Amino acid sequence: MPSNLGALTPDGLAGIDPSKFAGLTAAQLDALKPSALSGLSAEQLANMKPASLGSLSAAQFSSLPPASLAGLKPAQLGAMVPSEIKGMTAEMFDAIPAAALSALTFDQMLALKPAVMQRISAEQIAALSSQVMGALSKDQLARIPAEALSALRAGQLDKLSPQAFPGFSPDQFMDLKPAILSVIDPKQFMALKPAVLGIMTAEQFAAFTPATVKSITLPQIDNLAPAALAGMSGADIKALTDAKIAKLDAAQISNLPPASFAAMKPSQLGAMAPADAVGMTIQQLEALSSKQADFIKPAVVNAMTAEQKAALTP
């Protein structure tokens, strides 16, 4: 290493053999001007000791060329302090190898600016530890590309805080695999924006547990895609309050599987309004027992067609 590191220019730094950086001490690194570090290459960075890289000042770190981060290793990233991470740009984050991101810590995630997340890839998402996802804010989540979230694992989704869930957009949620949704708990579900419920598929809705479905809010029901109701089970139906059943409209009711419709409790059947009658299918009505049919309000029965009434009577 040159003796006068403080006088190095970007070109001067770029000309140093990458192998020399393995012996670079924290004191030597401290002597480098931030402007000189704009000449650092990925190969040079890859040879630096984690402790040395972790001693960079915020000004030095923000001067690193994004391409140099392509040389980052897990141990090096893990050694960085939050003040360094806070200066990371979207371009810098984009260059970090997925393997290195497996070492990202909870505190480092907290320090990342939301704008940084706009370039994250599916491969990078998959590399993040489940614990780190607990630090993700709603503003950070909102910036993640929808296609990147297709790589989200159940363990990662489970660790997301309810406070982060309002960050989900309809497009992002649409890209989540149905198989991972069973880990969503009531508090997380309630935090979803009603608009997200508007794009939900039957396959996604079927993944939720009855305890989670029970937590659905009235504004969420207002926005719930009718097609999603095809994924509602009998246990899901029974978990809903009468007020929530009453909130379902005819289009939503028409998509309920006959077995789920027949799982309604007497008070739930009695909660439906005349306007709902048009949504009741022949198959749903045929699935009811004569005893259950007695709990449907006369006004609702009067609103039915002759064919519906015939299906209601065994």
Residue 27 is predicted with a pLDDT of 87
At a CB cut-off of 8 Å and minimum separation 6, what does 134 contact? 106, 159, 160, 161
Q: What is the mean pLDDT of each run of 10 residues along the chain (314 residues)?
A: 80 94 89 94 96 89 95 96 91 97 96 96 98 98 97 98 98 96 98 97 98 98 98 98 98 98 98 97 96 96 97 84
At a CB cut-off of 8 Å and minimum separation 6, what does 112 contact? 85, 86, 88, 93, 140
Query: CB neighbours (10 Å) of residue 270?
Result: 16
Instruction: Express each pLDDT in 72-91 by its tens digit.
Output: 999 999 999 998 899 999 99
Residue 83 is predicted with a pLDDT of 87
Q: How far apart are CA 16 and CA 2, in angstroms?
A: 9
Residue 5 is predicted with a pLDDT of 82
Q: How far apart are CA 48 and CA 23, in angstroms?
A: 7
Share of the chain above pLDDT 90, in %: 90
Instruction: Express each pLDDT in 128-184 by its tens digit.
Output: 999 999 999 999 999 999 999 999 999 999 999 999 999 999 999 999 999 999 999
